[in-house]
Chains A and B, each alone.
Chain A
Amino acid sequence: NAGVTQTPKFQVLKTGQSMTLQCAQDMNHEYMSWYRQDPGMGLRLIHYSVGAGITDQGEVPNGYNVSRSTTEDFPLRLLSAAPSQTSVYFCASSSDRALNYGYTFGSGTRLTVV
């Protein structure tokens, strides 16, 4: 049982490049989300999904797109990377839409935009 798997672990992008951060979970969790972690700012919600085909914006959605075509996968797309998107990105999933049982987090993707 792998839990939540994020790839890649590290990535360096040039300003303006695009890329997709991958997230997959094998726990049949309906709820998935993306957070970014910056020093002194904690974890901020980017986008979330309550099931396949359903996504919504979080606190800081600008510059990011998501889709949820399957229960297992929830990729995060950066269409035109900016230095302000340098951060550590975490994907998380939960079995309960009401978040009653907490999140399971992936190990993160460290992204640097130069």
Chain B
Amino acid sequence: EVQLVESGGGLVKPGGSLRLSCAASGFTFSSYSMNWVRQAPGKGLEWVSSISSSSSYIHYADSVKGRFTISRDNAKNSLYLQMNSLRAEDTAVYYCAREETYYDILSGYSLWYFDDWGQGTLVTVSS
């Protein structure tokens, strides 16, 4: 059974830093790209960042680029999100999610989706 368990959330002052972790089990972690998705209180889902299986490809939403850093340790089956220069608008539940992606030759369409999610960890940025 796939399990993704986030940790590291908490209360932090504006301008502060926090490091989130996501412990993966039940699958070959090193074979999958992983993502962080967040949800502000009462709001919708927002994609934050992705990292390929070997860390070769990393992407960030414009809202966090230059402040957040995604990383992974395949030996420890763990995904991380280093968050610096935190703002009130970064307050959210942060989910890690396993990514599946491939190209459907028959249709000419690509697929990109998250087939497993953690339960999330709450980050609150407030003075």
- Are A and B bound to each other? no
Binding site for A on B (CB under 8 A): none
A interface residue numbers (CB < 8 A to B): none
